[in-house]
Amino acid sequence: MIGDLDAKVPAGPLADKWDNHRFHEKLVAPANRRRFDVIVVGTGLAGAAAAATLGELGYRVKVFTFHDSPRRAHSIAAQGGINAAKNYKNDGDSIERLFYDTIKGGDYRSREANVYRLAQISVEIIDQCVAQGVPFAREYGGLLDTRSFGGAQVSRTFYARGQTGQQLLLGAYQALERQAHLGTVELHPRVELLDVVLKDGRAAGIVTRDLVTGEMRSHSAHAVVLATGGYGNAFYLSTNAKNSNVTAIWRAHRRGALMANPCFTQIHPTCIPASDDFQSKLTLMSESLRNDGRIWVPQQMDDRRSPDQIPESERDYFLERRYPAFGNLVPRDVASRAAKREVDAGRGVGPLKNGVYLDFSDAMRRLGHDAVEERYSNLFQMYDRITGEDPYVVPMRIYPAVHYTMGGLWVDYNLMSNVPGLYVLGEANFSDHGANRLGASALMQGLADGYFVLPNTITDYLADLLGDPPVPTSDPAFAAVEDEVEERVRGLLAVNGTRSVDWFHRELGKVLWDNCGMERSADSLKKALGEIPPLRDEFHADVRVLGENETFNQSLEKAGRVADFLEFSELMCLDALHREESCGGHFRVEHQTEEGEALRDDDNFSYVAAWEFTGVDEKPVLHKEELGFEAVELSQRSYK
Ligand SMILES: Cc1cc2nc3c(=O)[nH]c(=O)nc-3n(C[C@H](O)[C@H](O)[C@H](O)COP(=O)(O)OP(=O)(O)OC[C@H]3O[C@@H](n4cnc5c(N)ncnc54)[C@H](O)[C@@H]3O)c2cc1C
C-alpha cells in the first residue's frame, strides 16, 4: 500500500519557488554525468527535448520510440501554436496573467506551484527555439508575431503557420541528432516499451519489443523517463495520431505508479464532423481559426438553405451571444458544450446535421483573401481535401472531438512519479492543466518539462546514486518481467478468435464516447462500468491477431495497445463516477449551474485523484493530493 503523497512543492513565495528549489537541490558535477545512464521513452516534444538536453549535459542517454524516426512523434501534428508570456504585443500579458489564465482555464484543479513555474519558463522556451532556428511567424517589424487562443484576452501564442508542432519538433530533433552524432544519445527507433522494471521499489529499466524482428530485450538505467504522450485514442475516434496509446503509462501504473485524474479528457470544439460510422480518425481544425472565424448556427431548426442564403438576422452566433467578453475564444470545454447544445437542439448543420459553422466571410471582407491565406492556408487546404468544400467560399463545418488528456501518471514537483527514479513528462503526466487545458499550452508544457524542468530536477535523485552501477539486465527482476511480456504476446497470438482488434477498439470507443464523453452521469458511467469488463473478456476470448511475433506485425502491436485501453478505460470511468462535481472537461450532468455551466464542489473535490492499481477486476485505491491555493481565489469560472 502506497503512503501519503508528497508533491515536494518547495516552500517560500510562489514566484521564488523554482529558483529556491534549484539552489537547494543536489547537483551532479559535469565529470560525473557520464557515469549515469538515463532511459527516455518517447521522442515527441517532451522526450526529444529531455533526451537532447540530458545528452548535451553529458549523461548517457538511451532513447526509444516506436516510430521509424523520432520526427514522426505525434507532436508533429500540432498546428496552432505555443504560449509564452513575452508580452511582445504590449497587451497586458505577464507571467502572472499566464499563470492565472491557466489555473482558471483548468477550473482550479491544478497545482499552483507547477503552473507558476510553467508560466515562468514559457519565456525561455521561445528563446531556446529561436536559437535552434525554429521559423516562428514574424510581424512586419521583425519581432515574433503572436495570435490569440481560447481562455485568454491577450495575444500570447507564437506560431509557425499551422505547423507549429512540426517546426518545434524539427528543432528538438536536430538537437537530439546532434547528441546522437556526438555519442551521448543512443537512438532506438521502431522499438516499443512493453513494460517497466522495478528493483527494490525503484525504476531499474524497461522491457521492449523490436517492432521489425519481434525481439524482446531488457534495458537498464539509473532513471527511466516516460514521455509517451496522451491516451485520447481510448475513445477510438480522436484527433490523435493513430498510434498514440496508453501502454507505457498503464504498464508503469500496474507496477505501482499512481494514475492521476484519468477522467480529465479534453474535447476540442473545432474538428471536422464525422461523416460515417466506420471512420477511423478525426481531424482537428486548429483553435487558431477561432481568431478570425465566427461560429454560428441557423436560428431556425432544420434549416436546409445553404449558409450564404441565410441572412445575418437569422443566424445565431451563440458563443458571441452567450460569452460577449471572450466570444469565439472561450476555452475549449465551454465552446464544445455550447456547440453540442445547439446540435442536440436540432440546429446542427451539414448532411448529418452534426456540425456548426465556422465562418470566415467577415474576415475575408475585413482582411482580404491574401491575409487569410497567409495565416491559415495549410489548414484551409486540409479542410478542402477532406470535405471537398472550399472554406474561402463556404463556412467550415466543425464539431467537438476527443483531443487531449489532462490525466496521466501522477508526478511531484520534480516530475518524478511515486516510483523513485521514474519520471513522466509531457502529455503522459497529469500535471499543469487541471481539468481543462488551454489551447497552445501542451507544447509549452512538453518543452518546459523536457528542456528545463527535468534536466534540473533529475540531479537530486541521481546524486545519491553516484558510484552505483545500474541494475544489470541479468538481474532476476528483468528476467521475470521479460517472461511476463513474452507470455502476454504469445497469449494474444494464441487466441485466434473471430473478431479484429479494430472491432473491439471501436466498440470500446462507442462505450466511452456515449457514457464518459462530453457529458457523463452516474447512470451512464455505471452503464460503461458494466459494459467494459465483459468486452475485455470477450477480447481475450475472441480476438483474432494475424501473423506472428517474429516479423513486422501491426495487428499484434495494436492488440497489445487495445488490451491496455480495455483495462485503463475502466479506471477512467471509475474516476469520473467518483468525482461528484463538474469541472473543466469533466461535465457531470447532475452538477451544473442554472445556465448549464460546470458546477464545481471545492469543499469536497479540490484534490488530485491518484489511483493505485490493485489488480484487473479489483477496486483501485484512491490517494488524494489536496490542492491548496494561495495566490488565486477560487471562483465560478466566467467568460462573459
Ligand atoms: C491535431 C493536434 C493538434 C495539436 N495542436 C496543438 C497546438 O497547436 N498547441 C499545443 O500546445 N498543443 C497542441 N496539441 C497537443 C500536443 O500536440 C500534444 O499534447 C503534445 O505534442 C504531446 O507531446 P508529447 O511529447 O508529450 O507526446 P507525443 O508527441 O505524443 O510523443 C509520444 C512519443 O512516445 C513514443 N511512445 C509512446 N508509447 C511508446 C512505447 N510504448 N514505446 C516506445 N515509444 C513510445 C512515440 O513513439 C512518440 O515518440 C495538438 C494535438 C493534436 C492531436
CA–CA gap between residue 131 and residue 117 (Å, rounded): 22
* Ligand 1 pocket residue status of 239, Cβ below 6 Å: yes
Report which protein residue has its CA nearest ligand 1's atom 35.
Answer: 42
Reported as a single tens digit per residue, the pLDDT across 432-487 is: 999 999 999 999 999 999 999 999 999 999 999 999 999 999 999 999 999 999 99
Nearest atom of ligand 1 to the alpha carbon of 191: 43
Nearest atom of ligand 1 to the alpha carbon of 444: 11
Element (H, E) at 299: none
Gap from CA of 26 to ligand 1 centroid (Å): 31
Amino acid 49: pLDDT: 98
Report which protein residue has its CA nearest ligand 1's atom 39.
Answer: 228
Gap from CA of 44 to ligand 1 centroid (Å): 6
Q: Using most ligand atoms within 8 A of CB, pick from 43, 63, 74, 129 the residue to mutate for ligand 1.
A: 74
Given a cut of 80, is residue 38 above it in pLDDT?
Answer: yes
Reported as a single tens digit per residue, the pLDDT across 516-575 is: 999 999 999 999 999 999 999 999 999 999 999 999 999 999 999 999 999 999 999 999
Terminal C-alpha separation, the chain: 46
Reported as a single tens digit per residue, the pLDDT across 312-365 is: 999 999 999 999 999 999 988 999 999 999 999 999 999 999 999 999 999 999
pLDDT, mean over the chain: 96
Cell of 277: 460510422
Cell of 245: 496509446
Given a cut of 70, is residue 1 above it in pLDDT?
Answer: no
User: DSSP labels for 406-447?
Assistant: --EE---TTSB-SSTTEEE-GGGB--SSTTSPPTT-HHHHHH
496 CB-contact burial (10 Å; exposed 0-12 / middle 13-18 / buried 19+): exposed
Nearest atom of ligand 1 to the alpha carbon of 74: 29
* Ligand 1 pocket residue status of 323, Cβ below 6 Å: no
Angle value at C-alpha 204, between 564 and 63, nearest 5 degrees: 70
Amino acid 287: pLDDT: 86
Reported as a single tens digit per residue, the pLDDT across 99-134 is: 999 999 999 999 999 999 999 999 999 999 999 999
Given a cut of 80, is residue 73 above it in pLDDT?
Answer: yes
Gap from CA of 45 to ligand 1 centroid (Å): 7
Amino acid 328: pLDDT: 95
Amino acid 554: pLDDT: 96
Given a cut of 80, is residue 62 above it in pLDDT?
Answer: yes
Which residues are designated catalytic?
A: 332
Q: How confident is the model at residue 168 (pLDDT cuts 50, 70, 90)?
A: very high
Gap from CA of 314 to ligand 1 centroid (Å): 41
* Ligand 1 pocket residue status of 426, Cβ below 6 Å: yes
Amino acid 50: pLDDT: 98
How many other CB atoms sit within 10 Å of the CB of residue 433?
32
Q: CA of 22: how far to CAs of 196, 223, 244, 429, in Å?
A: 29, 19, 33, 21
Nearest atom of ligand 1 to the alpha carbon of 239: 53
Given a cut of 70, is residue 39 above it in pLDDT?
Answer: yes
* Ligand 1 pocket residue status of 164, Cβ below 6 Å: yes
Q: Which of 442, 403, 412, 97 is nearest to 260 (CA)?
A: 412
- In a 3-state reduction of DSSP, which class is residue 186? strand
Reported as a single tens digit per residue, the pLDDT across 271-319 is: 999 988 888 899 999 888 999 999 999 999 989 899 999 999 999 999 9
Residue holding cell 514522426?
A: 72
The torsion angle over the Cα atoms of residues 244, 246, 247 and 249, rounded to 10 degrees, is 120
Amino acid 288: pLDDT: 87
325 CB-contact burial (10 Å; exposed 0-12 / middle 13-18 / buried 19+): exposed
CA–CA gap between residue 365 and residue 148 (Å, rounded): 20
- In a 3-state reduction of DSSP, which class is residue 469? coil
Q: Using most ligand atoms within 8 A of CB, pick from 53, 64, 65 the residue to mutate for ligand 1.
A: 65
* Ligand 1 pocket residue status of 205, Cβ below 6 Å: no
Calculate mean pLDDT across residues 35-54. 98
Q: CA of 285: how far to CAs of 106, 358, 368, 399, in Å?
A: 22, 10, 21, 10
Nearest atom of ligand 1 to the alpha carbon of 46: 25
Q: Which of 370, 390, 364, 368 is nearest to 379 (CA)?
A: 390
Gap from CA of 220 to ligand 1 centroid (Å): 25
CA–CA gap between residue 266 and residue 607 (Å, rounded): 19
How many other CB atoms sit within 10 Å of the CB of residue 606?
18
Calculate mean pLDDT across residues 142-165. 93
Gap from CA of 637 to ligand 1 centroid (Å): 28
* Ligand 1 pocket residue status of 227, Cβ below 6 Å: yes
Instruction: Report DSSP state, residue 449.
Output: I
Gap from CA of 629 to ligand 1 centroid (Å): 30
pTM of structure: 0.97
Reported as a single tens digit per residue, the pLDDT across 370-390 is: 999 988 998 999 999 999 999
Reported as a single tens digit per residue, the pLDDT across 392-408 is: 999 999 999 999 999 99
Report which protein residue has its CA nearest ligand 1's atom 33.
Answer: 42
* Ligand 1 pocket residue status of 249, Cβ below 6 Å: no
Amino acid 637: pLDDT: 86
CA–CA gap between residue 405 and residue 71 (Å, rounded): 22
Nearest atom of ligand 1 to the alpha carbon of 283: 1
Report which protein residue has its CA nearest ligand 1's atom 21.
Answer: 75
* Ligand 1 pocket residue status of 337, Cβ below 6 Å: no
3-class SS letters over 37-100: EEEEECCCHHHHHHHHHHHHHCCEEEEECCCCCHHHCHHHHCCCCEECCCCCCCCCCCHHHHHH
CA–CA gap between residue 545 and residue 491 (Å, rounded): 10
Reported as a single tens digit per residue, the pLDDT across 177-214 is: 999 999 999 999 999 999 999 999 999 999 999 999 99
Amino acid 302: pLDDT: 87
Amino acid 474: pLDDT: 98
Q: Give every CB contact of residue 621 below 8 A, 6+ residues apart in sequence.
A: 1, 2, 611, 612, 614
